[in-house]
Amino acid sequence: MKVKRVLFKLPSGLKSKAATEFSQKANCFKSGVWLEKGSRRVNAKSLLGILSLAISCGDAVSVLADGQDEENAVDVLCGMLAEPEAG
């Protein structure tokens, strides 16, 4: 299992548009993928699970993956959380 902790840096928080993009990207990986904030862990492939974490700018979150492409999954998904939105 690969785990990486990052500070969430999207100014708008992980609201519906960003959460949808995140869950769609998570679904591209064969590994099981989870998102964790505090003591709560949700399936990162579930939009409702992600939204239930109510992640805001500055929150510390962990991305966990277990499977054949776990390292790539964690790196790509952490990159989505730790970089400012383009546009």
State the average pLDDT over residues 7-20: 90
C-alpha–C-alpha distance, residues 9 and 65, integer Å: 21
> What is the pLDDT at residue 10?
83
Tokens matching residue 29: 């990986």
Q: What is the CA radius of gyration of the chain?
A: 11
50-71 tens-digit pLDDT:
999 999 999 999 999 999 999 9
Taking the model in full, what pTM does it have?
0.89
Instruction: Give CA–CA dist 70/3, Å, rounded.
Output: 9
What is the predicted pLDDT for the residue at 83? Answer: 55
CA–CA distance, 42 with 37 (Å, rounded to integer): 9
pLDDT value for 84: 41
What pLDDT is attached to residue 3? 95
CA atoms 8, 12, 15, 18: torsion sign = negative
Q: Tell me which H or E stretch contains 32.
A: strand 32-37
Q: What would the CATH number be for the domain defined by 2-82?
A: 3.30.1340.10
The domain ranges of the chain are 2-82
